[in-house]
């Protein structure tokens, strides 16, 4: 954390016990369509903020800032200080200005640290005051809390406490500043695919968050190499592993549609087919397919090149609203312009708050 924020943080910590139960003033539904994108800070060389096509967006997320495992404050390294400053300045310099938000933790961050954070009132207070101090220092428009994922009902209850206390702090300490509070979440409020039953505190989230970023992807992947799968299908005719089921459940459980933002991936997941002649959805596979990192992940730009270079057959699955391609024994499942358009049309019909992409540069 920059030295200039220390005094502010100490002051907020002293005030925290007095305001924490003062109010949990609810946020209002977004008044405009949210068109968001997450900018991974590690892409600073290939896609610096100045290279982003801002005409596509209303909100940009800086991904990610970690937590100090001991103090539970946001950990702003010299690298993040440099690029967070660059990011917010560039985003705000657009005409009209866009909103710059900071996403915290992320999928690769140690979830035990987050569980420890939310389990204790003092650590929650320290964290919340750290975020407010950072927001003021970097002129941020808000935060996204990306915990992937709470592991049991107790952690869900503690997460609800964090949301309540965070909103109370923002309302009391920043009455004249609009500071957005969002959370990146599982595609469904219920972890119905898990052996540990648990559900998000939807009622609290509806009251305290400006919106949720529903991660409507990774339904299938390297954890099951025996058959191909569409990892971001809008519909699933056989199971409830789909975007429409997940978002519909969020709304049925009480999250206002305008506070539900549909997440779309700018990457695909790939498999190696057992037999090149069997190349449909659910066809037998023997391994992950082409892609970096040994997990069969391929960004959209690479998918387009792969299809062109290998003369791949591209299939637009009308029933599932998803795309796949195959060439030889390589099978790729992903979204393209066609399926994205279909998902946006679905979101408009459902009255959703908008959409986001993970991630810029893909």
3-215: CATH topology:
TIM Barrel (3.20.20)
Max CA-CA distance within the chain? 68
Domains 3-215 and 272-332 share a fold: no
215/182 Cα distance (integer angstroms): 13
β 260-265/211-214 pair status:
parallel
Provide the token pair at 81: 């200080």
Q: Could you give the CA distance from residue 318 to residue 307 in angstroms, rounded to a whole number?
A: 20
Q: List the structure tokens of 54.
A: 């801002």
The DSSP output letter for 353 is: -
User: What pLDDT sits at residue 291?
Assistant: 85
- pLDDT of 32: 86
Based on DSSP, count helices (H) and strands (E) in the chain, helices before strands. Answer: 9, 14
Sequence spans of domains, the chain = 3-215, 272-332
165 part of the active site: no
The secondary structure of 84-122, three-state, reads HHHHHHHHHCCCCCCEEEEEEECCCCCHHHHHHHHCCHH
pLDDT for res 7: 36
Contacts of 180 (CB under 8 A, 6+ apart): 27, 99, 101, 141, 142, 143, 210
Alpha helices of the chain — where are they, by DSSP H?
6-19, 78-92, 111-118, 121-138, 153-173, 202-208, 243-252, 300-309, 337-350
Tokens standing for 234?
């809008």
Which structure tokens are listed for 300?
Answer: 């959209």
Angle, vertex CA 303, rays to CA 299 and CA 307, nearest 5: 175
- Neighbour tally for 120: CB within 10 Å: 13
Strand partners, 273: 285
What's the pLDDT at 77?
98
The predicted pLDDT at position 184 comes to 98
With respect to CATH, is domain 272-332 assigned 3.10.50.10?
A: yes
Pick the catalytic residue from 148, 207, 253, 278.
148
**Nearest in space to 356 (alpha carbons), one of 261, 267, 266:** 261
What is the full per-residue pLDDT of the chain (362 aa) written as tens digits? 443 343 333 334 434 433 333 344 456 677 789 999 999 999 999 999 999 999 999 999 999 999 999 999 999 999 999 999 999 999 999 999 999 999 999 999 999 999 999 999 999 999 999 999 999 999 999 999 999 999 999 999 999 999 999 999 999 999 888 999 999 999 999 999 999 999 999 999 999 999 999 999 999 999 999 999 999 999 999 999 999 999 999 999 999 999 999 999 999 999 999 999 999 999 999 999 998 778 999 999 999 999 999 999 999 999 999 999 999 999 999 999 999 999 999 999 999 999 999 999 99
pLDDT at 117: 98
Measured between alpha carbons, how far is residue 78 from residues 48, 115, 264, 282, 336 in Å? 17, 26, 31, 47, 37
The Cα–Cα gap between 92 and 70 comes to: 33
């Amino acid at each position: 954390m920059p030295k200039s924020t220390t005094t502010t943080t100490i002051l907020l910590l002293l005030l925290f016990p007095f305001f924490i139960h003062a109010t949990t003033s609810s946020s209002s539904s977004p008044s405009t369509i949210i068109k968001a994108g997450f900018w991974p800070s590690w892409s600073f060389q290939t896609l610096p903020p100045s290279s982003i096509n801002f005409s596509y967006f209303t909100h940009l997320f800086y991904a990610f800032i970690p937590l100090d495992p001991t103090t539970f404050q946001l950990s702003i390294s010299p690298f993040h200080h440099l690029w967070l400053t660059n990011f917010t300045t560039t985003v705000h310099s657009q005409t009209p200005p866009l909103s710059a938000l900071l996403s915290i933790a992320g999928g690769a961050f140690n979830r035990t640290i987050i569980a420890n954070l939310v389990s204790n009132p003092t650590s929650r207070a320290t964290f919340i005051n750290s975020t407010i101090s950072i927001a003021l220092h970097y002129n941020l428009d808000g935060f996204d809390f990306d915990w992937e994922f709470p592991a049991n009902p107790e952690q869900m209850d503690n997460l609800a406490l964090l949301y309540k206390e965070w909103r109370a702090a923002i309302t009391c300490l920043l009455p004249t500043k609009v500071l957005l509070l969002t959370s990146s979440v599982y595609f469904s409020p219920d972890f119905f695919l898990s052996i540990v039953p648990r559900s998000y505190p939807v009622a609290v989230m509806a009251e305290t968050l400006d919106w949720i970023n529903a991660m409507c992807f990774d339904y299938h992947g390297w954890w099951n190499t025996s058959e191909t799968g569409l990892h971001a299908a809008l519909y699933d005719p056989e199971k409830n592993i789909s975007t429409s089921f997940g978002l519909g459940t969020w709304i049925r459980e009480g999250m206002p549609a305008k506070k539900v933002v549909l997440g779309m991936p700018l990457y695909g997941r790939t498999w190696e087919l057992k037999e090149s002649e069997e190349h449909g959805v659910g066809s037998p596979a023997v391994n992950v397919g082409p892609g970096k990192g040994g997990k069969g992940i391929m960004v959209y730009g690479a998918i387009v090149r792969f299809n062109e270079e290998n003369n791949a057959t591209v299939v637009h699955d009308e029933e599932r609203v998803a795309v796949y391609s195959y060439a030889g024994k390589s099978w790729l499942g992903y979204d393209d312009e066609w399926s994205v358009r279909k998902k946006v049309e679905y979101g408009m019909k459902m009255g959703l708050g908008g959409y986001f992409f993970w991630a810029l540069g893909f």
